């Protein structure tokens, strides 16, 4: 019985992280769409990079704080890093399944751009710092 309860709690933490990762991807998708199509800012523009960095950082901080909000979730730097890795994996999967086929004309080199890799590493670090602060 105890094993079933522990398994359920672990599953719920993972499900929570995955759902927050999907929400993060949706928020960033709309943010990038607004920057590119609403304001006409494209990738080489420094204003685009600055705003994208700011908004994605805020989204990651808010969703990480929400994840670590409950008492059932272990808190700490490593747990935050793990949450950040889950966020990045969800982002890569959704970009590969939705963004690339619909908007990039099947050009998967989009997923290995330096700017995207750096913002994902930054998101992992921010999740780690939030986990450390919440501990």
Please report whether residue 113 resides in a domain: yes
Please report whether residue 110 resides in a domain: yes
For residues 128, 52, 94, 79, the Cα torsion angle rounded to the nearest 10 degrees is 0
What pLDDT score does 102 carry? 84
Please report whether residue 25 resides in a domain: yes
Please report whether residue 6 resides in a domain: no
Say if residue 34's pLDDT is above 70. Answer: yes
What pLDDT score does 26 carry? 97
CB 31 within 8 A of CB 52: yes
Please report whether residue 67 resides in a domain: yes
Please report whether residue 5 resides in a domain: no
pLDDT digits (tens, 9 = 90+) for 56-76: 999 999 999 999 998 778 889
What is the count of structural domains for the chain?
A: 1
CA–CA dist 12, 75 (Å, integer): 15
pTM for this structure?
0.88
pLDDT digits (tens, 9 = 90+) for 99-131: 888 877 777 887 888 988 999 999 999 999 999
Burial per residue of 17-28, b for 16 or more beta-carbon CB atoms within 10 angstroms, e otherwise: beebbebbbebb
Please report whether residue 1 resides in a domain: no
The range of the structural domain enclosing residue 93 comes to 12-134
């Amino acid at each position: 019985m105890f094993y079933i309860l522990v398994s359920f709690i672990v599953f719920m933490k993972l499900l929570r992280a995955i759902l927050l990762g999907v929400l993060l991807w949706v928020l960033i998708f709309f943010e990038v769409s607004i920057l590119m199509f609403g304001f006409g800012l494209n990738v080489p523009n420094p204003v685009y990079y600055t705003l994208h960095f700011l908004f994605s950082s805020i989204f990651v901080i808010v969703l990480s704080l929400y994840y670590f909000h409950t008492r059932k979730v272990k808190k700490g730097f490593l747990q935050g890093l793990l949450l950040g890795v889950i966020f990045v994996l969800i982002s890569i999967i959704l970009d590969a399944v939705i963004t690339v086929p619909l908007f990039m004309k099947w050009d998967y080199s989009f997923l290995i751009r330096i700017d995207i890799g750096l913002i994902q590493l930054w998101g992992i670090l921010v999740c780690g710092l939030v986990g450390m602060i919440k501990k």
